[in-house]
Amino acid sequence: MELFNVYPLYDVTLVKGRGSRVYDESGTQYLDLYGGHGVISIGHCHPRYVEAIKKQVEALGFYSNSVRNPVQEALSEKLGKLSGCEEYSLFLCNSGAEANENALKLASFHTDRSKIVAFSNSFHGRTSAAVAVTDNKRINAPLNRQHAVQLLPLNDLHAMEKTLSQKDVAAVIVEGIQGVGGLNEGTTEFFKGLESLCRENGTVLILDEIQSGYGRSGKFFAFQHHGIRPDLITVAKGMGNGFPIGGVLIAPSFQPSFGLLGTTFGGNHLACAAALSVLEVIQNERLVAGVSDLSEFLIDRLKSLPGVQRVKGRGLMLGLEFDFEVAGLRKRMIHEKKIFTGGSSNPRLLRILPPLNVSKEELAQFAESLDELLKEEWV
């Protein structure tokens, strides 16, 4: 059987990873500043992570949510503590789209409304409601277009007020920092205004922190730069450092009700052990506190590179906007400089999402390699 071909592939076969480095089958080393779409938070194959997974799979890999699971309990307690969201409760699932799907469903149950507001350039995943609130017509099938969704521009409080005052909106879903859409971010004034409008009009505020969360922005969650308190927070990607896991953090105003949400695999022992070890590494190595320094170091080297129009994003979720399309540059970075970077729906933006424990030497290597290519080709 052949694979159902949905991804354009780089001609690289990776067989090994260590920290911020990955290796192909001939032993060639690559610097991974993208982490396969922002998944690698603590580096590839961190020893503590590998050990935790090994230990758990030898003890008990899986049982369903019909029995008490102490690994789930340890995970939710640590996540609450490290994120500063101890009063929330946690629903566990398997991916980002599934986390958003459940958050949207919960908001609809909670308000008894069905309309959702999302934003231009949003990306929330590919399942039914998650893709319906994603601003990309090409990946919305006719089935997905049946959801009642309104897309508004980011940072337009006037439009938001007009829409929410109809009092028929179940939820507003917004990314802490837009990732796939090109590293756009709401202002503090906007986030605060949005929070007030949601409260006034009985609308649930969902913060999608799937890409911007888990320390990547320099705080545990990106919304924490703006001093707001969302009703629901969705997480995935860096949470499992490659092991599939996602979750919804749920504010105390939501009453749990048996059978409302559910999953077979979500919150299984193995996934929780992996996610717990990620938090232990984040805590022990003080990774969130280190992000700002790494970020400043890198931005300093990037902003004056030839052809760079601006540096977007925060922390270790950064984008370089050029005055040309970057697909060719990304390809040359992989094949000639042995460095993985990412793109976005803005073809002129090169996006990087390195592990939070990337070194300054590795970031300097990236800046120097980019400089060499840019000087050669575009100056």
Choosing from 201, 211, 295, 357, the residue that interacts with ligand PLP (CB under 6 A) is 211
Would you report the helix, strand and coil content of the chain in percent, each value rounded to 5?
40, 20, 45
Contact yes or no for 232/204 (Cβ under 8 A): yes
Q: Residue 121 or 211: which CB sits closer to ligand PLP? A: 211
Whose Cβ is closer to ligand PLP: residue 236's or residue 305's? 236
- Closer to ligand PLP at the Cβ: 113 or 124? 124
- CA gap 236, 59 in Å, rounded: 25
Which 322-351 positions form the footprint of ligand PLP (CB under 6 A)? Answer: none
Least separation in angstroms between residue 158's CB and ligand PLP is 25
Q: Which amino acid is at 108?
A: S
Q: Which is nearer to ligand PLP, 118 or 298 (CB)?
A: 118
What SS3 state is found at 104? helix
Q: Is 245 in the site for ligand PLP (CB under 6 A)?
A: no
97 binds ligand PLP (CB under 6 A): yes
CA distances to 9, 155, 199, 320, 371 from 288, in Å = 32, 27, 30, 22, 28
Q: Phi and psi for 208 in degrees, rounded to 5?
A: -85, 105
Give whichever of 37 and 332 is closer to ligand PLP, judged by the CB atom. 37
Q: Tell me whether residue 95 or residue 277 sits nearer to ligand PLP (CB atom).
A: 95
In the list 101, 135, 175, 185, the residue contacting ligand PLP (rule: CB under 6 A) is: 175
According to the binding rule CB under 6 A, does residue 180 interact with ligand PLP? yes
Cβ proximity to ligand PLP: between 155 and 365 the closer is 155
177 touches ligand PLP (CB under 6 A): no
Strand extents, DSSP E, the chain: 14-18, 21-24, 29-32, 89-93, 115-119, 149-152, 169-175, 204-208, 232-235, 246-250, 308-314, 317-322, 339-340, 349-352
Query: Which CB, 221 or 307, lies closer to ligand PLP?
Result: 221
Cα angle 102-108-113, degrees, rounded to a multiple of 5 = 160
Beta-carbon-side half-sphere exposure of residue 257 (alpha carbons within 13 Å)? 7
Is residue 56 part of the contact set for ligand PLP (CB under 6 A)? Answer: no
| Contact flag: residue 362 with ligand PLP (CB under 6 A) | no
Give yes or no for residue 154 binding ligand PLP (CB under 6 A). no
- Residue 124 in contact with ligand PLP, rule: CB under 6 A: yes
Q: Does residue 236 interact with ligand PLP by CB under 6 A?
A: yes
Kindly give, in sequence order, each residue whose CB lies less than 8 Å from that of residue 366, ignoring residues fewer than 6 positions away: 31, 33, 298, 339, 341, 352
CA angle 128, 129, 130 (to 5 degrees): 95
Pairing assessment for the beta strands 14-18 and 21-24 based on DSSP bridges? antiparallel
Least distance from ligand PLP to the Cβ atom of residue 270, Å = 17
Secondary structure letter of residue 179 according to DSSP: T
Nearest distance, CB of residue 122 and ligand PLP, angstroms = 8
Task: Candidates 17, 19, 35, 125: give the one binding ligand PLP (CB under 6 A).
Answer: 125
Contact positions toward ligand PLP, by CB under 6 A?
A: 37, 95-97, 100, 123-125, 175, 179-180, 208, 210-211, 236
